[in-house]
Amino acid sequence: MITLFDRASRPLIKRILKTYVRPYTGWVVQAMIWMVVGAAMSAVFASLIQPVLDDILINHKRHLVVPVAAGLFICFVLRGVSGYLNTVLMNKTGQHIVSDIQNDVFSHLMTLDVGYFHKNASGTLLSRITADTGVMRMAVAEGLTNLGKNSLTLVLLIGVMFWRDWGLALAVFVIFPITAVFISKLGKRLRKVSTRTQESIGLMSALLTQTFQGIRQVKAYGREDFEARRMEGKFDDVRDLNIKNVKIGTLNTPVNEILAGLCMCGLVLYGAQQSRLGHLSPGELMSFITAFLLSYEPMKKIAKVNNTLQIGLGAASRVFEVLDTQARIPTTGGEKPPITVYDVAFENVEFSYTGDDDRALNGLSFNVQPGQVTALVGPSGGGKSTVLNLLLRFYDPQSGNIKVGGHDIRSLDPSYLRAQMALVSQDITIFDDTALANIAYGRGGASEIEIMQAAKAAHAHEFITGLPDGYNTRLGENGVALSGGQRQRIALARAFLKNAPILLLDEATSALDAESEALVQESLNALQKGRTTLVIAHRLSTILHADNILLVERGRVAEQGNHANLLAKGGLYAALYARNQIAA
């Protein structure tokens, strides 16, 4: 209870209440009303014990039997109904809060730059959206219920105890502060352990995702046992932390039980003496003991609420950290000038992914003429993919300029810039959706006719119409699995649909079957017509037909020209070509 109000938590609590709880004030108020009813009924029950004993059982006042019995019945009915309504309302609020936070976090993540996703493993982000929001819901729902209902119940029951015998009540409540101090100490430790637990869960999910995605590598290299052992380590970490959580979290129980035992023991001794002296009737003493016993449950819950809140606050601060991350490169904002000539220029571009001296691009410069095909070739790790990443403005260079149509891309609206380019990359994502929707991903709002035209141009129409439900066949994870060539044709259809003036290709390294190869090549040729094309070339035919070849090595353009010129030059290109390494 005490740490609940520590300085660091206050802004966090304020933010949760203001942003996420406020829209549901109506439900919370209704829940509170039912809480009051429930709490009052507990106190009424404890009070009714006195007439049950003194008037009915000892003094046999017959006329009171029916009213008191009926009163007890009504009291329990109201307790049940109010408990139900209160729980449903609070959970409804909690669930709405979770989906609101999930929507906010996900929408915000979508605005963040590619660099952020590279830095934060997908498993970690996954646990922010699933596990942490769940923990927050529990904290809000239980926090409000426990603080509202249980503290009110407790206050009313304490009232009953003071009414019955204030001296005795005072004695009992000397014990309270001792418990409070102990519990607040526990809460702090629990928050630390649970933060570490959530981090471990994040690491665990990250490793799981990686392993599943790389299952082919795992199998091919016979690393099944290694992966199993590595995962075992992570599972064990999470298990140990969870056990630690329980050990600390449940320390409340023995402490509370011992204190309650002490109180009960004292009550009997004192009660016996007071009753003998005639200061307290049996009914009054029983009513006191009932109130005390009834107050035990809410007291336990209130003691626990601190734990739940500490865990919830830990989760909230992690969720808000994501929400407060500013995108280094915004999604929108900037100029949208009309572009007539689609040339591309890199001027002395220096770039490092990590921000240190380990540069991926090292003073790279080149020009791409409008409408021409430029092939990027060179050893792996030379910086070819980085060129595309920077052109799409997934990252900004540390120095130098990148221009499209004569405009520095930093001055342009990023979504406008990206609308000028279609990217066909090696790793083609097929979404768990229909073939139609998968192609429509290329341009939102495209008509069915446009989609089919794009599919025809990409030679995808033939195989799609052969699928069980044609264009409405589900593809991807829960649908039809596509061959490598079919996936590529879907990707090309997306590019045809987007119809952007600049085409960025990252050619697949894996070989396709002869028929797919021919179809893909044909669509690619059609797609390149009239567009400025930059292609990371892995096929010799692409390189031979390119208007210009850039040999990218160690972050700079080592040589450039067409195939014949470069061979004649007798430099690195010629050497790589002779060793058959140019189309690696």
The smaller minimum CB distance to ligand ADP, of residues 303 and 391, is found at 391
Q: Which of 318, 384, 461, 538 binds ligand ADP (CB under 6 A)?
A: 384
CB of 572 to ligand ADP, least distance (A): 14
Q: How far is the CB of 370 from ligand ADP (least distance, A)?
A: 24
What does the block give as tokens for 145? 């219920």
CB of 355 to ligand ADP, least distance (A): 10
Q: Which is nearer to ligand ADP, 383 or 501 (CB)?
A: 383
Of 116 and 431, the one with the shorter C-beta distance to ligand ADP is 116
Rounded Cα gap, residues 80 and 68, in angstroms: 19
Q: Is residue 380 part of the contact set for ligand ADP (CB under 6 A)? A: yes
Residue 244 or residue 554: which is nearer to ligand ADP going by CB?
554
**Which residue do the tokens 């007291």 mark?**
299
Task: Find, among 436, 393, 383, 387, the residue nearest to 413 by Cα.
Answer: 393
Q: Which is nearer to ligand ADP, 162 or 353 (CB)?
A: 353
Helix (H) or strand (E) holding 316: helix 282-323
Residue 395 or 496: the one with the smaller Cβ distance to ligand ADP is: 395
Q: Based on the shown chain and the rule CB under 6 A, indicate whether residue 381 belongs to the binding site for ligand ADP.
A: yes
Structure tokens at 6: 């520590």
The phi and psi torsions of 549 (rounded to 5 degrees) equal: -120, 130
Q: Which of residues 138 and 558 has its CB atom nearest to ligand ADP in the complex?
A: 558
Q: State yes or no: residue 386 binds ligand ADP (CB under 6 A).
A: yes
Where does residue 435 rank: exposed (0-12), middle (13-18), buried (19+ CB within 10 A)? buried
Closest residue by Cα to residue 450 from 498, 490, 502 = 498
Size of the site for ligand ADP (CB under 6 A): 11
Stretch that binds ligand ADP, among 2-10, 100-108, 225-233, 379-387 (CB under 6 A): 379-387
C-alpha of 279 from chain center:
62
Specify whether the backbone of 356 is left (phi greater than 0), alpha (psi in -120 to 50) or beta: beta
Whole-angstrom distance, CA of residue 118 vs CA of residue 428:
18
Is residue 576 at the binding interface for ligand ADP, with CB under 6 A as the rule?
no
Task: Tell me which residues in 105-144 interact with ligand ADP (CB under 6 A).
Answer: 118
Contact flags string 448-477 toward ligand ADP, x per CB under 6 A: ------------------------------
The answer to whether residues 89 and 65 touch, using CB atoms and an 8 Å cutoff, is: no
Applying CB under 6 A, which part among 5-13, 33-41, 104-112, 376-384 lies near ligand ADP? Answer: 376-384
CB of 169 or CB of 361, closer to ligand ADP: 361
For 385, half-sphere exposure in the C-beta direction (CA atoms, 13 angstrom radius) is 12
- 411, 369, 389, 410: which is closest to 552 by C-alpha? 389
> Phi-psi region for residue 380, left (φ > 0), alpha (ψ -120 to 50) or beta?
beta
Query: Would you count residue 353 as binding ligand ADP (CB under 6 A)?
Result: yes
Q: On the CB side of 37, how many CA atoms lie within 13 Å of its CA?
A: 19
Determine the Cα–Cα distance for residues 208 and 213; give it in Å rounded to an integer. Answer: 9
How far CA 387 is from CA of 346, 364, 375, 563, in Å, comes to 9, 9, 12, 21
Q: Is residue 538 part of the contact set for ligand ADP (CB under 6 A)?
A: no
- Interacting span for ligand ADP (CB under 6 A) from 21-29, 45-53, 76-84, 374-382: 374-382
Q: Candidates 192-200, 253-261, 384-392, 396-404 — which segment interacts with ligand ADP by CB under 6 A?
A: 384-392
182-216 burial by CB neighbour count: b if 16+ within 10 A, else e? bbbebbebbbebbbbbbbbbbbbbbbbeebeeeee
Of 382, 397, 479, 485, the one binding ligand ADP (CB under 6 A) is 382
User: Considering the complex, what minimum distance in angstroms separates the CB of residue 568 from ligand ADP?
Assistant: 25
Nearest distance from C-beta of residue 554 to ligand ADP, angstroms: 9
Among 314, 383, 442, 501, binds ligand ADP (CB under 6 A): 383
Give the nearer residue to ligand ADP in terms of CB position, either 301 or 384.
384
Which of 543, 552, 553, 546 minimizes the C-alpha distance to 577? 543
Q: Going along 307-433, which residue ranges are E strands?
A: 344-351, 361-368, 373-377, 399-404, 407-408, 421-424
Q: How far is the CB of 357 from ligand ADP (least distance, A)?
A: 12
DSSP-derived pairing of the beta strands 344-351 and 361-368: antiparallel
Give me the least distance between CB of 316 and ligand ADP, in Å please.
Answer: 30
Closest distance between ligand ADP and the C-beta of residue 149, in Å? 51
In the bound state with ligand ADP, the residue whose beta carbon lies nearer, of 38 and 382, is: 382
Within 10 A of 148 (CB to CB), how many other CB atoms are there? 20
Minimum distance, C-beta of residue 426 to ligand ADP, in the bound complex (Å): 10
Smallest separation, CB 584 to ligand ADP (Å): 9
Q: Does 314 bind ligand ADP (CB under 6 A)?
A: no
Judged by beta carbon, residue 9 or residue 385, the one nearer ligand ADP is 385
Q: How far is the CB of 345 from ligand ADP (least distance, A)?
A: 19
Contact with ligand ADP (CB under 6 A) among 141, 360, 402, 490: 360
Six-digit token pair at 263? 């109180």
394 binds ligand ADP (CB under 6 A): no
Which among 164, 144, 163, 190 is positioned nearest to 35, based on CA atoms? 144
Residues lying near ligand ADP in the complex (CB under 6 A): 118, 353-354, 360, 380-386
